[in-house]
Amino acid sequence: MTHHNSKRFFIGGNWKMNGTREAATLLANELVTAFEPLAMSVDAAIFPPFPYLQHIGGILRGSGLMLGAQQVSADANGAFTGQVSAEMLLDIGVEIVIIGHSECRQLLAESDELIGEKVAIAVSTGLSVMLCVGETWQERQAGHTEAVCRRQISAALKGIHLDHMGAIHIAYEPIWAIGTGRSASPQDAALSHASLRKDIEDLYDPSLAAATRILYGGSVNPANATSLFAQPEIQGALVGGASLKAADFASILRSASQATSSRPN
């Protein structure tokens, strides 16, 4: 079993449903340039919209920046109009896929069970996974943050063998922090990360839990990245809005690189 080095940060840029082919091309080219001096110290992926994946994949080739997709079907193939399979993603060079994003849980009514099926088919096909979990503001106010995250991660990892866990990154994304400009405080994020790590420990074992990278997501920007990354529990970020501006995403990548080098081995 190979575990990735959890000391290395992972930064994901989730472009969501934004941009044109022209804007995406420009952004990807700028990111390739910005990533060049950082490729040795940070892992990073960008998640363009489906229609641009193959084209952007061509731009990223050889850069070390990974190509990611924002969604995947729970089914292998068949009469599922509008869906895209894990096999198809792999076929066009996608390496990692976002599963369980709160926008899909809420807008598309994706259940915990469906998310578990998606994780299973993705890892068995050979894709890495960015698994998103997180509570609503109401759940946080009611003191249910840890229980909600535990329910979500347990369902998503149900039936996932230990050997596949090296391909799974967790993104803790409190829903109230996504796209609001109001990120979780570094301390609150760290508490949730520690609780999620304990859940992984209970589901698997302590060494796997220690090796699993847990990213924070929700209004990460160049101004708050450094303080978030100063928390030892945080091993990266899933970035939405700020990933659409090359200068902002590059600044977050540099913060991650600096945070990595200041961590003990």
* Site for ligand PGA, rule CB under 6 A: 14, 173, 178-179, 217-220, 238-242
What's the min distance (Å) between Cβ of 163 and ligand PGA? 27
Q: Which residues are tagged catalytic?
A: 101, 173
**DSSP string for 72-131:** --SSSSSS-TT---HHHHHHTT--EEEES-HHHHHHS---HHHHHHHHHHHHHHT-EEEE
Structure tokens at 248: 């902002």
What's the min distance (Å) between Cβ of 45 and ligand PGA? 12
Nearest to 12 by CA among 111, 134, 128: 128
**Pairwise CA distance, residues 183 & 155, whole Å:** 26
Q: Output the residue with the shortest Cβ distance to ligand PGA.
A: 240
What's the min distance (Å) between Cβ of 222 and ligand PGA? 12
Specify the residue, 124 or 227, whose C-beta has the smaller distance to ligand PGA: 227
Specify the residue, 17 or 40, whose C-beta has the smaller distance to ligand PGA: 17
Torsion from C-alpha of 120, 124, 126, 131, nearest 10 degrees: 10
What's the min distance (Å) between Cβ of 36 and ligand PGA? 24
Specify the residue, 87 or 219, whose C-beta has the smaller distance to ligand PGA: 219
The one-letter amino acid code at 83 reads Q
Specify the residue, 11 or 120, whose C-beta has the smaller distance to ligand PGA: 11
